């Protein structure tokens, strides 16, 4: 939730303050104006905005339930076959190659000497 206080908007720095009466009148004016304008705007636009947002989220939910999730699940089912073929190819061709390269380089020994 958004909470805007008078001190967030009108912030006098330390050491610089107006008269107490001016400060209190400004605080009261700000608070009452914010309170009543919020009520006025809520009364004028609250129901139309609720209607618009209700329609928007209903459409969003409908599309998510009836279009997005089924498309993603369909894609995952279709790609599973390709995934298995790809996995078989990798295991058939790459695994022996990398195993042979690993065995070739496994006998290499490196020693480090510090020369002074």
With bands split at pLDDT 50, 70 and 90, how would you rate the model's confidence at 115?
A: confident
Q: Are the C-beta atoms of residues 49 and 33 closer than 8 Å to each other?
A: no
- Picking from 2, 1, 7, the residue whose alpha carbon sits closest to that of residue 31 is 7
Sequence ranges of the domains in the chain: 6-10+19-107
Angle at 61 between CA 57 and CA 63, to 5 degrees: 115
Q: Are the C-beta atoms of residues 27 and 6 closer than 8 Å to each other?
A: yes
pLDDT digit string (tens) for 12-36? 666 677 777 887 888 889 889 989 9
Residue 34's contacts (CB-CB under 8 Å, 6 or more residues apart) are 4
Residue 39: burial class (beta carbons within 10 Å; 0-12, 13-18, 19+): exposed
Q: Are the C-beta atoms of residues 5 and 26 closer than 8 Å to each other?
A: no
pTM above 0.75, yes or no: no
pLDDT digit string (tens) for 47-63? 999 999 999 999 999 99
């Amino acid at each position: 939730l958004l909470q805007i206080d008078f001190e967030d908007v009108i912030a006098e720095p330390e050491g610089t303050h107006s008269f107490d009466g001016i400060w209190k009148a400004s605080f009261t004016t700000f608070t009452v104006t914010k309170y009543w304008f919020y009520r006025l705007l809520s009364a004028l636009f609250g129901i139309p905005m609720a209607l618009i947002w209700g329609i928007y989220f209903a459409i969003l939910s409908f599309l998510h339930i009836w279009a997005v999730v089924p498309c993603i699940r369909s894609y995952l089912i279709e790609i599973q076959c390709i995934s298995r073929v790809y996995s078989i190819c990798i295991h058939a061709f790459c695994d022996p190659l990398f195993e042979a390269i690993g065995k070739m380089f496994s006998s290499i020994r490196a020693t480090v000497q510090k020369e002074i």
